[in-house]
Amino acid sequence: MLEQPEGPIGDRTSVELFAGGGGLAMAVHRAGFRPLLVNELVKHACDTLKANVAVARGESERIPSPGERWPLVEGDVSKVRFDYLWDRVDLLAGGPPCQPFSLGGVAKGDEDKRNMFPEMFRAIRKIQPKAVICENVRGLLRPSFRPYFEYIERELRLPFEERGDEATWREHDDVLRERLAEEPADPKRRYDVVTTTVNAADYGVPQIRNRIIIVAFRSNCGVDIEGFKRAVQPTHSEAALIRSMLDGSYWERHPDVPSHVRMRVMSRLPSTPPKDDGKLPWRTLRDAIKGIDGQPSLPPVPWDRLDRREYRLGGFSDHIGWPDARIYSGHTPNELDRPAKTVKAGVHGVPGGESVMLTDDLLPEPLDSSPYAYKHRYMTVRETARVMTFPDSWKLAGPRGEQMRQLGNAVPVMLGEFFARAIARALDEAESQR
């Protein structure tokens, strides 16, 4: 079962589009928002949601009561009706498919039919939520896409200025610029937008994951935008991780690390500790495997069990050894004493070197094909889920490739929750001032 929010913030409500395997939806729920509707297209992701928290809604357009399972509408978001949710939603959340903008995609940008931002704007017009949160790749900020991204921000500020069927985005952008220069006739139809460039590791996630998070507040809510910006500043840093290794506190948390591993890691650190920046240390892949915030340690995968067989190693599901891991140019492995590399979905749901990890076990003799002296293997799905800060109780549906795809497309739960809680506090504070 999904953990309940800590300290519920009244009866805040949410709608989640492009829910995938549930990372952002779970984060929003943990921050105190009650899901009124969840939408997802991909079958295995829908199966994951239903295995954990959701129930197929069917044709009923009913507001669920507190404590009910999340109503899941399976299928194309363009077919979903939102009218019955008008002015009843605090937070609209979603990560519109990012393939049009990612470095790994074909980079067609706004001409790509997979661009789902227009559906987010349609939902805003039908729901009129108090706040919106979107997560996407940093590819939106590349110079070639920057003008279109700035158009997206303007469209989010004025979502009720609907683009005509025949208008190009540049023509619509000209209209938006003119409207934004005018005083709003109705503040409930305008939003204040904050875009934050993030590395998930800077927020306690044991993974290097560079993204953008776009948050919008309905203007009439009176949210302190500058206060919100201060509230979402990073909490963790690489400098603090280095300091913790140099002063020994990191190794005190991991007393079973072999001396040869510790010596290798320490040999690459600066002799002078970085300046204390007042932040917490980055979390590492080793931290994730050993358990964060009270999680139990995952057992090591025996080298003779890299056989694709599910046998609930240590009682954990999806903690399965996978054979044939390779290291080659462009596919360098994860190291235990660094945050993991970005978890990727991969073109076919099976990522490359990003899912390979070096262990603490030395090779019997060096391999000519590898510069590393340590044995390596694929990360298990459970280890990858921990890197994405999913709870161990979260069940992922489908074969391994589909499970990895869901994780690679997800928002790390810890990162999403941090921003969702900041949104909830901002709304609470604004309402208390009225």
Looking at the structure, do residues 369 and 426 belong to the same domain, yes or no? no
User: Is the pLDDT reported for residue 8 higher than 90?
Assistant: no
Decide if 277 contacts 240 (C-beta within 8 A): yes
Looking at the structure, do residues 326 and 386 belong to the same domain, yes or no? yes
Q: What was the pLDDT predicted at 4?
A: 41
The structure tokens listed for 57 are 């809604």
Instruction: Report d(CA 35, CA 28) in Å as an integer.
Output: 8
Looking at the structure, do residues 246 and 210 belong to the same domain, yes or no? no
**pLDDT-derived band at 169, boundaries 50, 70, 90:** confident
Task: DSSP letter for 274, please.
Answer: P
Q: Is residue 181 part of a domain?
A: yes
Q: What was the pLDDT predicted at 111?
A: 52
Catalytic choice (46, 98, 134, 221): 98
Looking at the structure, do residues 164 and 183 belong to the same domain, yes or no? yes
Q: What is the mean pLDDT of the chain?
A: 90
Per-residue pLDDT tens for 114-128?
A: 678 889 999 999 999
Looking at the structure, do residues 61 and 168 belong to the same domain, yes or no? yes
Looking at the structure, do residues 183 and 217 belong to the same domain, yes or no? yes
Q: What was the pLDDT predicted at 10?
A: 63
| Beta strand ranges found along 58-162 (DSSP E) | 70-74, 91-94, 131-137
Q: Is residue 367 part of a domain?
A: yes
Looking at the structure, do residues 397 and 314 belong to the same domain, yes or no? yes
Cβ-based neighbours of 23, under 8 Å, separated by 6 or more: 388, 390, 410, 411, 412, 413, 416
User: Is the pLDDT reported for residue 13 higher than 70?
Assistant: yes
Looking at the structure, do residues 216 and 327 belong to the same domain, yes or no? no
User: Is the pLDDT reported for residue 55 higher than 90?
Assistant: yes
251: left (phi over 0), alpha (psi -120 to 50) or beta: alpha
Which residue's entry shows tokens 């590393």? 372
User: Is the pLDDT reported for residue 351 higher than 60?
Assistant: no
Q: What was the pLDDT predicted at 165?
A: 86
- Please confirm, yes or no, whether 98 is among the known catalytic residues: yes
Which residue's entry shows tokens 């404590």? 67
Task: DSSP letter for 377, please.
Answer: E
Strand partners, 236: 280
Per-residue pLDDT tens for 352-370?
A: 457 899 999 999 887 666 6
Q: Is residue 2 part of a domain?
A: no
* Domain interval for residue 415: 12-235+409-432
Looking at the structure, do residues 30 and 74 belong to the same domain, yes or no? yes
Looking at the structure, do residues 267 and 203 belong to the same domain, yes or no? no
Q: What was the pLDDT predicted at 112?
A: 57
What's the mean pLDDT in 377-389?
A: 96
Instruction: Report d(CA 178, CA 232) in Å as an integer.
Output: 31
What's the mean pLDDT in 155-172?
A: 92
Nearest to 390 by CA among 10, 25, 104, 137: 25
Instruction: Report d(CA 224, CA 45) in Å as an integer.
Output: 36
Q: Is residue 45 part of a domain?
A: yes
Nearest to 341 by CA among 349, 330, 333: 333
Q: What was the pLDDT predicted at 214?
A: 97
User: Is the pLDDT reported for residue 410 higher than 50?
Assistant: yes
Looking at the structure, do residues 201 and 291 belong to the same domain, yes or no? no
Residue 86 CB: number of other CB atoms within 10 A? 12
Q: Is residue 345 part of a domain?
A: yes
Report the CATH number at residue 220: 3.40.50.150
Q: What DSSP assignment string belongs to 83-107? A: GGGTT--SEEEE----TTTSTTS--
User: Is the pLDDT reported for residue 99 higher than 70?
Assistant: no
What's the mean pLDDT in 392-409?
A: 94
Q: Is residue 210 part of a domain?
A: yes
Q: What was the pLDDT predicted at 11?
A: 85
Q: Is residue 1 part of a domain?
A: no
The percent of residues above 70 in pLDDT, for the chain, comes to 91
Looking at the structure, do residues 69 and 185 belong to the same domain, yes or no? yes
Instruction: Report d(CA 140, CA 146) in Å as an integer.
Output: 6
What's the mean pLDDT in 275-304?
A: 96
What's the mean pLDDT in 269-282?
A: 96
Strand partners, 237: 281
Provide the number of structural domains found in the chain.
2
